[in-house]
Structure 1
Amino acid sequence: MKKTLVVLALALGFSISNLNATNDITTSENLDKVSIERVEVSPLCKAVATGNVEAVKNLIKQGADVNAKSNGMSPIHYAAKYNRVELIKVLITAGADVHKYCDLGYTALNHAEKSNAKEAAQFLKRFKRKTV
């Protein structure tokens, strides 16, 4: 008798959990549209992210905009995020805006701190705006 009650209780428990699990099934009608967003990163930002100093210098000589955003971030944000201090110096010398915000509202210093890029953060703190 006890075995029968235990088996019935387990069966009831499984049926209730299966019933709840099937309530949120997505029908094939909702799967007709698939959106794919392709993100293109500029050659300058790619060169900065990979740490290719010569390519960055050549792109700047060819007239690449050092403040143009690519995927929501400017080249100095990429340099800060990937701890590329030498490239930060190159970009600042070429006229990059250290205080420019990315699309998420972060500065280069914020990106360096979030990414634990200690050398970049230490270098960028020199450019911190003074509040009066």
Structure 2
Amino acid sequence: MNAEKNTPLIIASQNNRLELVKYLISVGADKEAKNNYGNTPLICASFSGNLEVVKYLISVGADKEAEDNYENTPLLFASLNGNLEVIKYLISVGADKEAKDKTGGTPLI
């Protein structure tokens, strides 16, 4: 864990290291751990556009509606960065398209 409280799983998810993500989950890494900003591994993977990591985390039960400290969800983060394939996938698995962050922004605005 670094100064921002990024766990190895958060870092692996952000950097598209799918095999490492799978390994860390297999040895008990917390898939809902949050860093100082409230970002989970799924939020970081969504923000970075790492579709295969996003799919895997969802498949092992990661919370697709997790919120950071500003109420941003994985779908909001994918939208912020224009990660279209991640956006499509999250919507296909039922992510809330109407979720609002603290400023009232939604993924589709």
TM-score by length of 2: 0.79
Q: For residues 27-46 of structure 1, what are the structure 2 equivalents within 5 Å?
A: 38-46=3-11
| 2:92 pairs with 1:128 | no
Whole-Å Cα distance in 2 between the matches of residues 96 and 39 of structure 1?
Answer: 21
Segments of 5+ residues of structure 1 without an aligned counterpart are 1-37
Identity of aligned residues (%): 32
Code of the residue aligned with 2:29 in structure 1: it is A
Alignment partner, residue 67 of structure 1: 32
**Residues matched between the structures, number:** 94
Structure with the bigger RCO (C-alpha within 8 Å, sep 6+) is 2
Once the two structures are superposed, what CA deviation does each residue of 1:54-107 show, in whole Å capped at 9, x if it has no partner? 110000001011111123201100010000111011101111000111111111
Alignment counterpart, residue 78 of structure 1, candidates 44, 52, 62: 44
Report which of the two has the higher share of helix.
Answer: 1
Which structure has the larger Rg over C-alpha atoms?
1
Runs of 4+ residues over 3 Å off in structure 1: none
Cα RMSD (Å):
1.6
TM-score by length of 1: 0.66
**Cα displacement (A) at 1:44:** 0.2
Alignment partner, residue 107 of structure 1: 73
Whole-Å Cα distance in 2 between the matches of residues 50 and 63 of structure 1?
Answer: 19
